[in-house]
């Protein structure tokens, strides 16, 4: 019996840290963000669509997409953000599913789909269990400001552009409380994997 876990969280909640813990346990992690970058590389179908919609001014000199520039356009404009999502999300989903099937057919008994917008994108049907990495608002704000050198206002904007973590936690099958040390988060993960019979 194989288990597909949907891992999600919010910006600066520590989701990547937990994804690395899975990887360190030799559990394959399929990262939606990595795939989202791959599908808009020059030569990909989605790349052409993004350039058609947003114009050549979002390109760097080497022809690749200038992600910060594109980010600044879509952060403040919901319509543009929606346009981008409609191009990128289906391509990402297709590639993630293909990777998931590949791993399962190789006999992996657990695969993690690391999807930031698991609930917003209504993608829970892709997984068997959902796992949210949770921190309280104050911790999230502090970590994001430190990590990305953002002002309080910029950090707050980014956090409020996402579904609140407390809401995600209420929707999840399981939650890892990442307010404390990495060791404590790791212990929670190991306990969960035992409960799910992924590890002994």
> Phi-psi bin for 131: left (phi > 0), alpha (psi -120 to 50), beta?
beta
* 178 closest CA partner among 11, 50, 6: 11
Q: Is 124 annotated as a binding residue?
A: no
Tell me whether residue 14 is annotated as binding. yes
Residue among 196, 182, 86, 180 at smallest CA distance from 139: 180
The string of DSSP letters for 96-156 reads: HHHHHHHHHHTT-SEEEEE-TTTTTTT-GGG-SEEEEEE--HHHHHHHHHHHHT--HHHHH
- 105 labelled ligand-binding: no
Whether residue 17 is annotated as binding a ligand: the answer is yes
The reply, when asked if residue 91 is annotated as ligand binding, is no
Q: Determine if residue 13 is labeled as part of a ligand binding site.
A: yes
- Interatomic CA distance for residues 120 and 65, integer angstroms: 25
With contact defined as beta carbons under 8 Å apart, do 40 and 47 qualify?
yes
Q: Which residues are annotated as a binding site?
A: 12-17
Q: Which residues are annotated as a binding site for ATP?
A: 12-17
């Amino acid at each position: 019996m194989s288990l597909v876990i949907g891992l999600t969280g919010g910006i600066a909640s520590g989701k990547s840290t937990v994804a690395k813990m899975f990887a360190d346990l030799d559990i394959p992690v399929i990262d939606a963000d990595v795939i989202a970058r791959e599908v808009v590389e020059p030569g990909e179908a989605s790349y052409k669509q993004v350039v058609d919609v947003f114009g050549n001014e979002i390109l760097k000199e080497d022809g690749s997409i200038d992600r910060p520039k594109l980010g600044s356009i879509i952060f403040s404009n919901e319509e543009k953000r929606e346009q981008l999502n409609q191009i990128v999300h289906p391509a990402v989903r297709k590639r993630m599913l293909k990777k998931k099937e590949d791993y399962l057919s190789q006999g992996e008994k657990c695969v993690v789909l690391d999807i930031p917008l698991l609930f917003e994108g209504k993608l829970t049907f892709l997984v068997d269990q959902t796992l949210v990495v949770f921190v309280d608002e104050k911790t999230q704000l502090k970590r994001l400001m430190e990590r990305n050198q953002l002002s309080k206002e910029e950090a707050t904007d980014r956090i409020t552009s996402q579904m609140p973590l407390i809401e995600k936690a209420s929707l999840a099958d399981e939650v890892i409380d990442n307010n404390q040390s990495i060791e404590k988060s790791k212990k929670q993960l190991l306990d969960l994997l035992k409960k799910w019979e992924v590890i002994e």
